[in-house]
Structure 1
Amino acid sequence: MFDLLIKNGTVVDGSGAEPYPADVGLRADKIASVRPGLDGAAITIDATGMLVAPGLIDPHSHTDWSILGNRDAQSTIRQGVTTEVVGNCGVTYAPLTDVNAEGAATALRAYGYEGEADWRAFGELLERVHDRGQGGGTAQNLAWFVGHTALRNSGDATRHLEEALDAGALGMTSGLEYGSGRDATTAELLDLARIVGRRGGMYASHIRNRDAGLAAAVDEFFQVARADDGLRAQLSHLNVRHNTGADPGAWERAVERLATERERGLDVLADMTPYPDGIGLAVGLLPDWLLAGGAEEAARRLGDREAMARLRGECDRYWRFVHRGEWDRVTLATSPATPELEGKTFPDIAHELGMDEWDCFFHILRAAGPDMFAVQFIGRLFTGEHVAEAVAHPLFCLGVDGFSSRLDGPLAARTQHPLFFSGHLHYLAHHVQRQRTLSLAEAIHKMTAMVADHFGLAGRGRIAEGAWADLAVFDPAGLARLDTFQMPDRYPDCVPYVLVNGALVVDSGMHLGTRAGRQLKGGR
């Protein structure tokens, strides 16, 4: 007798093997049997005409920013995502100090959290998220990294890194294009990476440059990744932004280096995003001299005409196409001080405010004041061809580089892009069904077992006896109908059933409010 039985479906088991007909029987939180002809269950789901897959695992998520305001993970769980790897790009809201806690609370309010940031240690944040008492817990599993920028800002990076690892962090991520992360030396990163390596952890990095300096940034990444023999590594969103000065063939050479390092024994992979569009931090465009005194001082200086004139010539960094005048590629996504401008392109904002785009940029950051680090963009970053070649590459996992959102409340206004609501399904509907960038079995593998194996998430990512019962049932006809390039007015209806640790979270397309998610700790 099974607790739950999924009958008559086509199983795509996550291994990369071709789909096959089978029933899937569950007992408690594990998969008990996978074969045709199973019978006898308290609950039976008829999956005739459906695909039964492991729950999707996002290898590069920022849902730690929104989880306190969206514990039901509305936009991701409804896409069949049952696990998210969070804490990426060096930016985590722990550890905190008494000095930066208020700024963290303000930033989190933009993501729907109304409480205080009254934790300090990384483990205290994890307890706040995962404690199911008093309305806590999560719909999906979360596997956490601690952010290097947060460690730098804590005043005692080594101690806080050890504490985070003790609390179950997979390792450390860095974000070297913005914030205090871009002030980090290679020697500093090496010292911290050695601590992670000695604990069998991982180092993931948003590297220092992805345009004219890509080769040097990749060199630095691998130097840090080889700081200790026990270290595993993830090269986050390895791509090249269009029209930003990268040498011809720079990305291909970087990918060749990735393959070479794996052949030499380093456990390293990369990841890619589904769309030509992506999120970014507005302050990434600003030079060090403006940010050296902190956000409030930077906001004050943004009111100085001489400083603004100088900045127009010195913001050739991060999204370098902006410096080339391509503001039409940028949409304001999150702006706590000017929410009425969110969802608009900069040419539209310029028309509305009667300023040029640069002055609008300065105005928005000046208005944000101490919260300017919470200002986010959505940019048209890549060509479709470049996205496709990265998605198809055998060493790339498939992530979204967004965060779980919802169609109501504060998050709705700040996620006006299909990335947040259809990004995972875009791989299946666009790259598999329409463009045939890769096969269904390959795509599911890159979104499940490949991620689980690399990040050390034991028993996840596969449909197999004894595995954890994280499962998603997909409707292929619904995927074919889904327009993943349009912002939806309702949640996608092509994932009728989602289970997390054996518990139904989405049943016949209805979110049940179940919070069966767990903190997942990596390791080998």
Structure 2
Amino acid sequence: MSHDLVIRGGLIVDGTGAPARHGDLAVANGRIGEVGVVTARGGREIDATGLAVAPGFIDPHTHYDAQLTWDPFASCSSWHGVTTVVTGNCGFTIAPCRPRDREALMRMLQYVEGMSLEAMRKGIRWDFESFREYLDALDRGGLWVNVGALVGHSAVRQYVMGDAAWERAASADEIAEMGAVVREAIGAGALGLSSSANTNHVGDRGRPVPSRLAADEELTRLVEVMGETGRGILELTIGGTRPDRVAEVDRFAELARAGRRPVTLVSIRHNPSRPAEHREVLARIEALHREGVPIYPQGTCSPLTATFDLTGPFVFYRFPVWRRVMETPLSGWRALFRDPGFRQEFRSTVGRTPLFTGDTAPLRVHAVQSPAHARFVGRPVADVAREMGKDVIDAFFDLALDEDLKTEFTVAILNTDAASVADIFTHPKTLLGLSDAGAHLTLFCEAGQTSRLLGQWVRERKALTLEEAVRRITSMPADVFGIRDRGRLTPGLAADIVVFDPATISDHAPEVRHDLPDGGPRLVQRASGLVWSFVNGRAVISDGRLPESPEGPPPGRVLRPAD
């Protein structure tokens, strides 16, 4: 028997959590053929001595919905061995979408997910309206990764209600119409439904995103519709209207029971102002699993660190005081930031939060434009204010105004305690998610968390075994999201494969690249130790390099459980 590809002598980490073993792996016709001792030759032979061979990694929480229409590699996730991305999280998708609503959805992504409006205007090929047409357009355009897509509640609401989706609760007839749209999307191949009640999620002019205006009965009915299809997962953001996180988890359990479908919640992070909260939430989730209610929290192995300047300060969007800014043209922001009344309102609200007052994660100066301010870099804004002899809010705005709003600030918001971070992401029910890849383009870049997991947390900290870490980013998300033919190195399954060096794999610090469709900037993150990756048997990373001039048909595809 001949094979298209044989990878020889590697450490086989098969994605099941079973002990790793040395051996060979053969691929034919895009599928795994043999695992173990392969005697037949391959059309291509790779020596993997000293390297690990694993299933392609699955990232369950990305926002590549728009980017995939111009970037078939889903960069920079694919640079880190990710062969399947799940899009459409948090209720935000670009389909279904009527032509009248395109600008509204793009503006929502601009404000909620930190995407470039001009890049979307220039880059998105609007050759679709329904969710099925969107999936077909992705396949037609060609992909170098596999894509599993959730359908977003906010997009569905906008599709049915138009501008009223931003203003009021839905009528019974509108809920029924939304249910039909969700049913159609699941039938077209959506992995499930996503929604958000998170109070941080605000769109154009500071308005709550459409899903936040949904009454409980609306979301319950949409989940019931999904349940009637017998397919799909519900992805929900935590941080909504319930009095505490445990109460929110109980609400999610109600939805899981109503739809008889699994739920993944976003997210659990260590919060220094509520240090015991993550343990309470995880304990409740454990109890629900014992009751047969499948809820999977998403966690991350990274601190949440935001870098921003005052031309796009995402961290302030959720505060009511910032609505004045969002309703003002950019040309008027400087005058507003100088206004004593605005500063006082900002001081009495945002100025009292841990962003400015916390000892564990103070707002710091990250980069400056003027050499005269170089001494401020790396220092807390409160410290800079003392040197300037000013109130901290005045110092913050004065420094930014002196540099035409281009001063960069940084703040570590959540997940700053390493022991608590490990407690969360090593919990047996936690999905490693929250890369948010494709979003927050200039705020942070966490697309490399698979590399960080295998480097920092497996090799250096030994928080997980190599086998368990690989399971967490392969078969576990595949099983939770119903991706049936990925996530394991098993004969007959799709040949999504990663070959990496366990001794060197790591993520690099983010760097700025100006490669958006409008020439705009974004943060990207490179990897070390990723040697090969294959999508459906075709090489995407070869000897540590991405193809500069890809040849042949792209190997990726939309994964449709309905097929």
TM-score range, shorter chain: 0.7 to 0.9
Counterpart-to-counterpart distance in 2, 1:81 and 1:284: 31
Counterpart-to-counterpart distance in 1, 2:293 and 2:73: 37
Counterpart-to-counterpart distance in 2, 1:48 and 1:64: 38
Contact kept, 8 Å, 2:74 with 2:145, in 1: the verdict is yes
In structure 2, the residue matched to 1:126 is 135
> What is the aligned-residue identity percentage?
27
In structure 1, the residue matched to 2:495 is 469
Question: If the length of structure 2 is used for normalisation, what is the TM-score?
Answer: 0.75
1:394 to 420, 428, 449: 428
Counterpart-to-counterpart distance in 2, 1:66 and 1:43: 32
In structure 1, the residue matched to 2:190 is 169
Change (3 A) 1:66 1:344: farther
Counterpart-to-counterpart distance in 2, 1:187 and 1:267: 21
Give 5+ residue unaligned stretches, structure 2: 162-173, 203-208, 308-312, 368-376, 513-523
In structure 1, the residue matched to 2:296 is 269
In structure 2, the residue matched to 1:510 is 545
Question: How many Å apart are 1:158 and its aligned residue?
Answer: 3.1
Residues 282-336 of structure 1, C-alpha deviations (whole Å, 9 max, x = no match): 2775356976x9964798899486566445444599xx53374678448999xxx
1:195 to 225, 242, 249: 225
Contact kept, 8 Å, 2:187 with 2:562, in 1: the verdict is no
Contact kept, 8 Å, 1:34 with 1:465, in 2: the verdict is yes
Contact kept, 8 Å, 1:285 with 1:316, in 2: the verdict is no
Question: If the length of structure 1 is used for normalisation, what is the TM-score?
Answer: 0.80
Q: How does 1:79-94 map to 2 (within 5 A)?
A: 79-94=80-95
Question: How many Å apart are 1:23 and its aligned residue?
Answer: 0.6
Q: Secondary structure at the match of 2:26?
A: strand
Question: How many Å apart are 1:250 and its aligned residue?
Answer: 2.3
Question: How many Å apart are 1:10 and its aligned residue?
Answer: 0.8
Question: How many Å apart are 1:424 and its aligned residue?
Answer: 1.3
In structure 2, the residue matched to 1:39 is 40
Contact kept, 8 Å, 1:25 with 1:38, in 2: the verdict is no
Contact kept, 8 Å, 1:425 with 1:484, in 2: the verdict is no
Change (3 A) 1:86 1:274: same
Counterpart code for 1:52: V
Counterpart code for 1:183: L
Contact kept, 8 Å, 2:60 with 2:433, in 1: the verdict is yes
1:215 to 246, 251, 259: 246
Counterpart-to-counterpart distance in 1, 2:491 and 2:95: 37
Counterpart-to-counterpart distance in 1, 2:289 and 2:195: 21
In structure 1, the residue matched to 2:277 is 250
In structure 1, the residue matched to 2:149 is 144
Stretch moving more, 306-315 or 66-75: 306-315
Contact kept, 8 Å, 1:270 with 1:396, in 2: the verdict is yes
Q: How does 1:62-101 map to 2 (within 5 A)?
A: 62-101=63-102
Give 5+ residue unaligned stretches, structure 1: 334-342, 368-375, 406-410
Question: How many Å apart are 1:76 and its aligned residue?
Answer: 1.5
In structure 1, the residue matched to 2:164 is none
Stretch moving more, 201-210 or 263-272: 201-210
Residues 231-253 of structure 1, C-alpha deviations (whole Å, 9 max, x = no match): 1111222224322xx2x532212
Residues 352-411 of structure 1, C-alpha deviations (whole Å, 9 max, x = no match): 9x9747758999xxx9xxxxxxxx997441122221111211111212422159xxxxx9
In structure 1, the residue matched to 2:314 is 282
In structure 2, the residue matched to 1:499 is 534
In structure 2, the residue matched to 1:425 is 451
Counterpart-to-counterpart distance in 2, 1:146 and 1:238: 22
Counterpart code for 1:495: L
Contact kept, 8 Å, 1:206 with 1:236, in 2: the verdict is yes
Stretch moving more, 465-474 or 258-267: 258-267
Residues 166-197 of structure 1, C-alpha deviations (whole Å, 9 max, x = no match): 32111111222223233333222212211122
Change (3 A) 1:477 1:418: farther
Residues 102-153 of structure 1, C-alpha deviations (whole Å, 9 max, x = no match): 244564645955235634322333233221xxxx222111111112222233
Contact kept, 8 Å, 1:6 with 1:24, in 2: the verdict is yes
Question: How many Å apart are 1:210 and its aligned residue?
Answer: 11
Question: How many Å apart are 1:69 and its aligned residue?
Answer: 3.5
Counterpart-to-counterpart distance in 2, 1:143 and 1:201: 11
Change (3 A) 1:105 1:139: same
Contact kept, 8 Å, 2:72 with 2:143, in 1: the verdict is yes
Counterpart-to-counterpart distance in 2, 1:346 and 1:122: 46
Change (3 A) 1:97 1:345: farther
The count of corresponding residues between Structure 1 and Structure 2 is: 484
What RMSD, in angstroms, separates the aligned Cα atoms of the two structures? 4.0
Change (3 A) 1:297 1:158: farther
Stretch moving more, 48-57 or 389-398: 389-398
In structure 2, the residue matched to 1:52 is 53
In structure 2, the residue matched to 1:22 is 23
Counterpart-to-counterpart distance in 1, 2:222 and 2:459: 43
